[in-house]
Structure 1
Amino acid sequence: MEKQNTKSEMLSYLKIIVVTAIVVLGCKQFLFAPIKVQGASMFPTYHNQDIIIMSKVSKINRFDQIIFQSPVEDRYYIKRVIGLPGDSVEMKDDILYVNGQAYPEDYVNRQTDNPNQLRITEDFTLEQLTNETKVPEGMYFVLGDNRLKSADSRAYGLISEDAILGESKVVLYPFSHFHIGTK
């Protein structure tokens, strides 16, 4: 009788472990995943080696930080969405204009080692960079927060919706950088 109870108890534990593993793997595959930030292109929002949790089911909005497959190398990038499908984008005198409306960019790193650096972001229009007057359907225009050290849509063009893995939701580690939501 004792042996039967032990076997039944072990089977119960095994079932719990299997169900837990399936739930965890399912969440990681379809809902959330951890990502390690590589590089300084999103400083000060993210630091090199920060561990973030991305949501794979979020609707992408302007100024969200997204993780996507790089169009130029075999790795993932994290950048801020500036232009949504149908938007016109322009930078003039270090001021961002989307659809003709000026937007403050408090998240941009404006520190520089060069005292002669007049602008953090060079002037451009979407058309100059991509030959498009508006962001096409299924595409996004992205910029890094550390504009002087970021390869982004200014260098490699628009990002396809199909390349997007998800949106950053939580900075998990190091604990001194922990925050939920966007900055």
Structure 2
Amino acid sequence: MAKQKSEWFDWIKALLIAFALAFIIRMFFFAPIVVEGPSMLPTLEDGDQMIVNKFIYQITEPKRFDIVVFHASAQQDYIKRIIGLPGEHVEYENNSLYIDGAPVEDPFTRTDQNALYEQGTNDFLLEDLPGGYERIPEGQILVLGDNRMNSTDSRMLGVVPMDEIVGKTNLIYWPFDRIQLIGE
């Protein structure tokens, strides 16, 4: 009888440890997210399920063109691509990205006549966006969706504070036929 109680106790203890580890991993390291809407087409499709690396920006700085998840509101997270970093001036003119006045190749802006939708970027200056900044403030980033004509991003929301960033995402794990690493 004592052996049976000990076995049950061991099983309960193992399950509690497993649940605690799963909770810690999910809270602090990795979390799943589902892409909603067309704003990241063609890179990400509506319904793609991804893993968010929640700790990466604790050990490295964000990079231009990283795909990030951030709190757009208390109820909703958005997935967008980093375009501008702290201290930079960002401008789009004639579908060309300029950082501090110098052209930067943006492989996510395309205007293909045969495409089902246009991915061009309307002209804008950082100063024209909410906040009216001349340079992106420290601790903030500018984000855009890849489907620029159908994306709610920094052009409407303004720059995004780093403390609103949930993490970086680049792994699609579902649906099965779309499993891939993005941009690595």
TM above 0.5: yes
Contact 1:44 / 1:107 at 8 angstroms: preserved in 2? no
Separation of aligned partners in 2, 1:113 and 1:166? 30
Taking the aligned partners of 1:31 and 1:109, their CA distance within structure 2 comes to 34
Question: Percent identity among equivalent residues?
Answer: 34
CA gap 1:110/1:17 in 2 versus in 1, 3 angstroms = farther
Instruction: Give the RMSD, CA atoms, in angstroms.
Output: 2.0
Cα gap change, 1:179 to 1:113, in 2 (>3 Å) = closer
- Where in structure 2 are the equivalents of 1:34-183 lying within 5 Å? 34-59=32-57, 60-71=62-73, 74-108=75-109, 110=111, 112-113=115-116, 120-129=120-129, 130-182=131-183
In 2, Cα distance between equivalents of 1:77 and 1:109: 22
Q: Aligned partners of 1:108, 1:92: CA distance in 2, in Å?
A: 12
Q: Is the 8 A contact 1:53 1:170 kept in 2?
A: yes
Correspondence for 1:8: 6
Q: Give the 3 Å change call, closer, same or farther, for CA 110–177 of structure 1 in structure 2.
A: farther
Q: So what's the TM-score if we normalise by structure 2? A: 0.87
Distance 1:20 1:180 in 2: 28
The number of equivalent residue pairs is 177
Moved more, 124-133 or 76-85: 124-133
Give the aligned partner of residue 29 of structure 1: 27
SS of the aligned residue for 2:22 comes to helix
CA contact (8 A) 1:84 1:141 kept: yes
CA distance in 2, matches of 1:181, 1:45: 8
Deviation at 1:140, TM superposition (A): 1.0
What runs of 5+ residues in structure 1 fail to find an aligned partner? none
